[in-house]
Amino acid sequence: MVNSKPELLRKLNDRQILNLIRQEGPISRAEIARELGLALPTVSRAVDSFLERGWIETVGVGTSSGGRPPTLLRLKENSTGAVGIEIGRSSVRIIYTDLRAHVRYLDERSINEVAGPSSLLKYVYEFIEEHQLPIDQIEGIGIAAPGPLDAAKGVLMVPEDITSEWIGAPIVQVLMDGLNVPCYLSNDANAAALAESWFGKAKDYDSVVFVLSDIGLGAGVVLNGSIWNGHNNFSGEISHMIVDVQGIKCSCGRVGCLNAYASLRAIEQAVRSREASRADATWSDIIRRAKERINPEAEVIRTAARYLAAAIVNIIQMIDPAVIVLGGRAMLHEDMYLFNLVRQHVNQLLGNEERDILITGFGVDAVCVGAASLALQYVYDHTRLLKQS
């Protein structure tokens, strides 16, 4: 808690200084002071405390403009970091990253083995013990889960395909009480968008939309480094974006939702209904056969790509983000076959309009790294401190 003005000022300066070292290191104390408009003693005090904590390190010397050459500073590899938890529809993954959001440890269990928040707390204890992580080396814990959820209250609302133990349960509170470190919750696509914005392919842009294509579909929106959750926490719930007003019926009761064409479950169902011999076809078999141009798989995947592209163009029309990043297992499978199809369709629909459509650089870890980023942003983002105070 920030309880006095000088303390708030010091914390604001600390975050800005560390963030600049993250973005521009190796960098000297004098350069930091100049870029942030701070007095050199203020910078030196912060730098000394980061060096003492082992968050940053010195790397050689810079060029001198007269006098002693300045020591250069950068973030230290494998120093302190954050825990990221991805609650998926089929599994729960936990990672520990350093301050650069590089994954140091990763573990995964089936969702059946982690039934609800108290079971998750036990799993986190075991993860910490197995990797001998001192608790003071965990700056925070971020949790990413399928939406809709209430990020402020730290509870899941009514996500499809998630067992009842999770719904309405105070996940954030249970972890905070059990571990005594700050915990944060966000939906999976928003978390992945945050990872791209702070540490990934969108770090040089002011806005990014991350389209997550997996068992479910979602879009995460990050504007100026902050997640946009929406007024009712429903931002980015593109599953039920209508892409065909005369389309097929969706599980929600409406017709023509994106979910009915492009989710992995819809893709499986479309193939099974067209070809009885494919009763056991899994989404990964389907994408492989589509790549080999076998029907009906090729046709179903082409349709899914067309509808997904239409949804992405709608998002672009609405938000006008600087960059769109795509991720999720469907996009990454078979040398990014679906991603390439979707990108082709988006570019066709956009015509001459130039837009960066990129595949995530975090691979299948995008959501998990995003979860850790929920906690890491509090280490760097001074604007969050102003919002809290």
Residues forming the site for Zn ion (CB under 5 A): 240, 250, 252, 254, 257
Q: Would you say 220 or 256 has its CB closer to Zn ion?
A: 256
Give least dist CB 156 to Zn ion, A. Answer: 19
Q: Would you say 109 or 240 has its CB closer to Zn ion?
A: 240
Give least dist CB 251 to Zn ion, A. Answer: 6
Give least dist CB 159 to Zn ion, A. Answer: 14
Q: Would you say 100 or 240 has its CB closer to Zn ion?
A: 240
**Three-class DSSP category at 286:** helix
Q: Would you say 240 or 384 has its CB closer to Zn ion?
A: 240
> Are the C-beta atoms of 121 and 174 separated by less than 8 Å?
yes
Q: Would you say 247 or 361 has its CB closer to Zn ion?
A: 247
> Are the C-beta atoms of 95 and 106 separated by less than 8 Å?
yes
**Residue 94: DSSP 8-state:** E
Structure tokens at 384: 């969050």
Structure tokens at 248: 């097929």
Give least dist CB 108 to Zn ion, A. Answer: 30
Q: How many helices and strands (H and E) does the chain possess?
A: 13, 15
Give least dist CB 304 to Zn ion, A. Answer: 15
> Are the C-beta atoms of 76 and 55 separated by less than 8 Å?
yes
Give least dist CB 254 to Zn ion, A. Answer: 5
Kindly tell me the sign of the dihedral angle through the C-alpha atoms of 292, 294, 299, 300.
negative
CA-angle at 337, arms to 331 and 341, nearest 5°: 90
Q: Would you say 150 or 160 has its CB closer to Zn ion?
A: 160
> Are the C-beta atoms of 74 and 26 separated by less than 8 Å?
yes
CA-angle at 11, arms to 7 and 15, nearest 5°: 170
Structure tokens at 140: 């925070």
